[in-house]
Amino acid sequence: MEVIISETAEASSSAAARVVARQVRENPESVLGLATGSTPLKLYRELIRLHREEDLDFSRVTTFNLDEYVGLENDHPQSYHAFMHENLFRHINIPAPQIHIPDGMTPDIPMFCEGYERRIADAGGIDLQVLGIGSDGHIGFNEPTSSFASRTRIKTLAQPTVEDNARFFDGEVSRVPRHCITMGIGTIMSARRVVMLAFGEGKAAAVAAAVEGPVAALMPASILQHHPDAKFFADEAAASQLKLGDYYRWVYAGKPEWQRDA
């Protein structure tokens, strides 16, 4: 994993957006894996700016979102369909048929999940996956002990996740859906590149465990240590518990200019 520490979440997000933009410019038919939550918001804002001001073209891009709550209609304000539309899709020029988000209202979840995997494969696989990390180390909604080989399926949300996400449901834990459809860890690991983001002190312990701890199913994000092309963008607060923070900064500062993102 390449660890890139920036002063602020804004700087981190701009650097990550440059990686995504480069991917899309190099291959206008890129397949992007996208994430929801508060973490990627600044990255999406920067992609929107690049689209408006620097002609970043999404017209041939295909997207697959990581996850969706089970039981929320697509137009429910807290659905990830609504989130993506509001925070990215309606501001860029991606045609609706090229957008894929798990359907939390599907009557046949196993069949839907199989079909989702097939659609990813038919699109040629994911070129670049954007990821956040949960305070419990989850990626997508793959909670601790999720199989590293898992593919898209239904999962039960862990308690810390339900509590973290209650802030989007007027602080009411009882209103947070208990189940979701999520790409598996195996699905995520099949992406050719991964851009992971973590901001704020609340993520510091998970970041340290994921980057420097043992690779373990109890810390799903730690599997990224085995990914051949994973960049981890963290702000100072999220990086604050890394033992080797200075080492990552030194390595990054020593890279040739053309290899730098931040």
Which residues belong to the active site?
67, 136, 138, 143
Q: State the Cα–Cα distance between residues 112 and 238, nearest whole angstrom.
A: 35
Sign of the CA dihedral 84, 239, 226, 21? positive
Which CB sits closer to ligand PGA, 126 or 133?
Answer: 133
Closest residue to ligand PGA: CB criterion: 37
Interface with ligand PGA, residue 177, by CB under 6 A: no
Which CB sits closer to ligand PGA, 56 or 139?
Answer: 139
Question: Cβ(35)–Cβ(132) under 8 Å?
Answer: yes
Sequence-distant (≥ 6) Cβ neighbours of residue 164 within 8 angstroms: 134, 135
Least distance from ligand PGA to the Cβ atom of residue 139, Å: 7
Q: Are strands 31-34 and 128-131 parallel, antiparallel or unpaired?
A: parallel
Which CB sits closer to ligand PGA, 38 or 93?
Answer: 38
x/- map, 30-69, ligand PGA, by CB under 6 A: -------xxx------------------------------
Least distance from ligand PGA to the Cβ atom of residue 253, Å: 27
Q: For the packed helices 41-54 and 9-26, what is the interaxial angle rounded to 10 degrees? A: 50
Which CB sits closer to ligand PGA, 98 or 187?
Answer: 187
Which CB sits closer to ligand PGA, 58 or 83?
Answer: 83
How many residues sit in the footprint of ligand PGA (CB under 6 A)? 6
Sequence-distant (≥ 6) Cβ neighbours of residue 258 within 8 angstroms: none
Cβ neighbour number for residue 228 with a 10 Å cutoff: 8
In DSSP terms, 231 is beta-bridged to 2, 195
The three-class DSSP label of residue 58 is coil
Least distance from ligand PGA to the Cβ atom of residue 256, Å: 32
Least distance from ligand PGA to the Cβ atom of residue 37, Å: 3
Sequence-distant (≥ 6) Cβ neighbours of residue 254 within 8 angstroms: none
Site for ligand PGA in 121-140 (CB under 6 A): 132-134
Sequence-distant (≥ 6) Cβ neighbours of residue 136 within 8 angstroms: 143, 144, 158, 160, 161, 206
Least distance from ligand PGA to the Cβ atom of residue 134, Å: 4
Least distance from ligand PGA to the Cβ atom of residue 196, Å: 10
* DSSP, residue by residue, 124-168: T--SEEEE---TT--BTTB-TT--TT--SEEEEPPHHHHHHHGGG
Site for ligand PGA in 183-222 (CB under 6 A): none
Which CB sits closer to ligand PGA, 3 or 133?
Answer: 133
- Interface residues with ligand PGA (CB under 6 A) are 37-39, 132-134
